[in-house]
Structure 1
Amino acid sequence: MERRPPSSPNRRRLLSALAGVGAAGLAGCLGADSAPSAATAPDPAGSPAPATPDGGGLPDVDAPTDEYVAGNADFGLALLGRLADDAPNENRFLSPYSVGVALAMTYAGARGETRTELAETMRFRPTGEALHESVAALRADLPLSDGSAEEDETSTTGDSTGDDGAPFRLSGANALWGQSAYPFREEFLTTLERYYGAGLGRVNFRKRPEKARKAINGWVADRTEERIPDLFPEGTIDARTRLVLANAVYFRANWADTFDEAATEPGEFTALDGSTDEVPMMRQKAAFGFTEADGAKVLKLPYAGGTTEMALLLPPRERFRAFERSLDADRLADLLDATEERKVDVRLPQFEFRSKLKLAKRLAAMGMPTAFTRRANFDGMAEGDADANLELGSVLHEAYVRVDEQGTEAAAATGVEVVNTSATPNPPTFRADRPFLFVVRHRPTCAVLFLGRVADAAAAA
């Protein structure tokens, strides 16, 4: 039986921010311009600055990450469950890591009841400065590059290769854009630079919001290989915007044991609504982590390099929703811990889809309503009465996934806008011909990078 790995002691300096792709936009009415501090001097070109590639001078961090990882997985599974309740027959994909880091950055500027609700809803454990230390320590444990060509070369491991010769790639970066002459608090900016590697660039949201929006979207698109081309749709950044925080992640990995394309053939998939369709079904027989528990089959498919894997959970179709609702971080960990390596006959559909999600109402319903009202308190972001009170407006998340014989490609984006105011003679089978859940995680830390549900493979073919 595989035991849950402890947190890695290897704390590398951060190259840049991870978190799926995340972004936060902060808005409020501004009176007369205030002089910026030296640390927030405007970018001479008037355009967003790139993320600090070395993590903003982040020192070695040796904070525990287990509590943060478990809490983030709990949040992601709870959010996925709410999305499924809203549309039970639809495929969904998201990055709890992305949403978690984007909201952790927002948490740095929250105060009072707003801060408490945000921490409870996001399952932040620990809180306060220790939260930022935990996020930074986890980022340091991940095999992360900053998305540049030079750094990406250092993140490739393993023997098999993808289209560009890279069998494994996980890249990410954070950046911060603020209204010119806006009096952001030095403590807030220091926290984001120290723990998230987010350097500040100055823009003019009041007079040129569309130019800023396009530049920010371009930065995100570039960091996600164009998979997230329009994180902030037209109209989401306007003259009220005062700050945008963005983080981007791109993941591509080959399977440690790739599927033979010649073995892929049409197979029947029964969707959650009972309809059936033929879909491209991949197949291979090999040794994988496998177990059966409470009628559900659990399979782990490792990626090249051995540090990440996809875990698939296949309950009986008639019990899929009950299983999905019952899943939390502890149960997920127990199921994955119980797997044992054995030869398995695997049949898995190819799939590719994206999810575009509006999360504001769901987050409010999950326990943080104050942040979306006039009672919101984000006094930790700016000095004095710089603006009318800030509150969260929209929270947007977009995620993309593609799974084929070679491996997996995934990217995600989160945008937070703040506005004013047992063994058998034959190998067991894992035939994913009905709805299933899947998780992409970093094995040494157990961090859930992405998770999703395939309710209808035909809709994702």
Structure 2
Amino acid sequence: MESLTRANGLFALDLYRALSVSNAEGNVFFSPLSLSAALGMVYLGARGHTSEEMAKVLYFSSVSDVHSHFKTLTSSINRPSASYILKLANRLYGEKTFSFLREYLDSTLKLYHAELQAVDFIGASEKSRQLINEWVERQTDDKIKDLLQPKIVTKSTRLVLVNVIHFKGKWMQPFEEKDTKEMPFKINQNESRPVEMMYQSDIFPFRSIPEYELQVLKLTYEKEELSMLILLPNETQDGSDPLLKLESELTLDKLLDWTKREKMPRPMEIRVYLPKFKLEIESSLPETLQEMGMSSVFQETKADLTGMSSSQDGLYMSAVVHKACVDVNEEGTEAWAVSALTNPVGYLSLQQRQSFIADHPFMFFIRHNTTNSILFLGRFRGPS
């Protein structure tokens, strides 16, 4: 499963960069695992050049038996816990008159726990769209509504793949509401906006990485199965954008090294200042994925999805909609995302106190520690 975790991590950073370029000044938040799983279901039915393109973009070429690994990963993530909610769910919606291969349907059910629900896209596309949206609402406890907007589902739609991931966890060391104060958040050298800044002083896993002018803080959720890791670049004196510099230098190997458990012990009291924030970001991804190299699957005349159906009509993906939300507060974090696809460090002593003041743009990600999987990835450039 390590090879799949690495592949998903490489894809996560590639997509993060692509989304950052298209939204240079804004916040970014998405679930790379949600997208990888949804695209994995498409890859299961892809053949020929379409399969090759998807494998390259998703880094599946280096993973033997991708789909069995996804099954193991999903089972690991969906283990019940009394301390947090973490659920990954998949569903297929297929046109009732369209002939899908039994082998494909059996495989998606076995490997992705994704049942196919037959719907009438041809005769009742709007009703089918509402049906899908209602399922998404139920899976996210009514947090994500109207995922599929009008006209995304039409009478020519043949297949919609939906993946949902929902996380809600409490900090192992919660913040006190009485310590939250309004403070300025520096959007850039010339602009600040007020944020509700949470505060606490406690012992946390922390690293300062001078060669990259970076601080890394780990905030753990109850039971320590999940963590939020925050990458806070040092402010610059020359007016340049420190987050932009970090993003350009970041690789998966650096990220893994910077956040290794053995390199982030707990010898130090940290004064943590972290904004309360909510993000809700919707992304339409066909153009981004095509620019990354996954082009034929979106073209009616070039897509080879003959592993899904032997029909002469030809299947292709017409849309990839991804909506992700996160709410970070004193108690903990709630995050949810949905993807719909149609057609060497010197340690300071405990006596020294270090401040971690996230009052300027930073990257963050939520990790499933057991599998080392990045569930959510984003950046906070300030309140909108």
Report TM bin, short chain: over 0.9
Given the alignment, which residue of 269, 274, 277 partners 1:351?
Answer: 277
C-alpha separation in 2, matches of 1:273 and 1:376? 47
Matches of 1:259 and 1:74 in 2, distance apart?
33
| SS of equivalent residue, structure 2 residue 302 | coil
Q: 1:131 aligns with which of 43, 66, 71?
A: 66
1:369 paired residue among 295, 308, 316: 295
Kept in 2: contact 1:296–1:314 (CA 8 A): yes
User: Alpha carbons of 1:224 and 1:252: their partners in 2 closer, same or farther (altered >3 Å)?
Assistant: same
The percent identity for this pair of structures is 33
Q: What letter is aligned with 1:402?
A: D
The residue that corresponds to 1:332 in the other structure is: 255
In 2 relative to 1, CA 181–369 (structure 1 residues): closer, same or farther, beyond 3 Å? Answer: closer
Q: How far off its partner does 1:328 sit?
A: 2.4
The answer to whether the Cα contact below 8 Å between 1:121 and 1:368 also exists between their aligned partners in 2 is yes
Call closer, same or farther: CA 1:126–1:351 in 2, change over 3 Å: same
Per the alignment, residue 226 of structure 2 pairs with 308
Q: Distance in 2 between matches of 1:262 and 1:381?
A: 56
- How far apart are 1:316 and its partner, in Å? 2.2
Instruction: Summarize the alignment of residues 63-142 of structure 1 with structure 2, pairs less than 5 Å apart.
Output: 65-124=1-60, 126-127=62-63, 130-142=65-77
Q: Which moved more, 1:351-360 or 1:267-276?
A: 267-276
Task: Identify which of 325, 328, 331 aligns with 1:406.
Answer: 331
8 Å Cα contact 2:9-2:374 kept in structure 1 = yes
Q: Secondary structure at the match of 2:205?
A: strand
Amino acid corresponding to residue 12 of structure 2 in structure 1: G
Q: Could you tell me whether the CA contact under 8 Å between 2:163 and 2:340 is conserved in 1? A: no
Report if the CA contact (8 A) 1:111-1:378 is conserved: yes
- In 2, distance between residues paired with 1:111 and 1:404? 45
Corresponding residue of 2:318:
393
Q: Give the RMSD, CA atoms, in angstroms.
A: 1.5
How far, CA to CA, are the matches of 1:124 and 1:213 in structure 2? Answer: 31
State the distance in 2 between where 1:434 and 1:415 align. 33
Equivalents in 2 of 1:197, 1:187: separation in Å? 14
Q: What SS does the corresponding residue of 2:204 show, helix, strand or coil? A: strand
Which amino acid is the alignment partner of residue 304 of structure 1? E
Aligned partner of 2:187 among 243, 255, 271: 271
Alpha-carbon offset, residue 79 of structure 1: 1.1
2:316 matches 1:380: no
1:423 and 1:256 map into 2 onto residues whose CA distance is 23
Instruction: Single out whichever of 171-180 and 280-289 deviates more from structure 2.
Output: 171-180
Q: TM-score, normalised on structure 2?
A: 0.93
1:289 CA drift (Å) = 0.8
Q: Deviations over 1:280-302 (max 9, x none)?
A: 10001111110011210000000
Residues 219-258 of structure 1 aligned to structure 2 (within 5 Å):
219-258=135-174
1:142-291 to structure 2, matched below 5 A, reads 142=77, 144=78, 154-157=80-83, 168-272=84-188, 274-291=190-207
> Cα–Cα, structure 1 residues 280 and 372, in superposed 2: closer, same or farther, change >3 Å?
same
TM-score of the superposed pair, with normalisation by structure 1: 0.78
Question: 2:154 is paired with a residue of what secondary structure?
Answer: coil
Q: What SS is found at the alignment partner of 1:191?
A: helix
Q: Who is 1:40 aligned against?
A: none
Q: CA deviation at 1:83?
A: 1.4
Q: CA offsets, 1:391-418, max 9 Å, x none?
A: 2222111100010000001110112122
- Deviation (angstroms), 1:212: 0.9
Alignment of 1:410-449 (within 5 A): 410-418=335-343, 422-423=347-348, 425-449=351-375
Instruction: Describe how 1:5-84 pairs up with structure 2 within 5 A.
Output: 65-84=1-20
More helix by share: 2
Q: Does 1:454 align with 2:377?
A: no
Q: Does the 8 A contact of 1:73 with 1:328 survive in 2?
A: no
2:242 aligns with 319
Separation in structure 1 between the aligned mates of residue 352 and residue 332 of structure 2, nearest angstrom: 27
In structure 2, the CA distance between the partners of 1:427 and 1:100, relative to structure 1 (3 Å rule), is same
Unaligned runs of 5+ residues in structure 2 are 236-240
Residue 87 of structure 1 deviates from its aligned partner by: 2.0
Give the aligned residue type for 1:75: F
Return the alpha-carbon distance in structure 2 between the equivalents of residues 272 and 412 of structure 1: 29
Which residues of structure 1 form unaligned runs of 5+? 1-64, 146-153, 158-167
AA at the equivalent of 1:179:
E
Q: What is the DSSP-based 3-state SS (H/G/I as helix, E as strand, rest coil) of the residue aligned with 2:197?
A: strand
Aligned length in residues: 369
3-state DSSP class of the match of 1:428?
Answer: strand
8 A Cα contact 1:314 1:436, kept in partner: yes
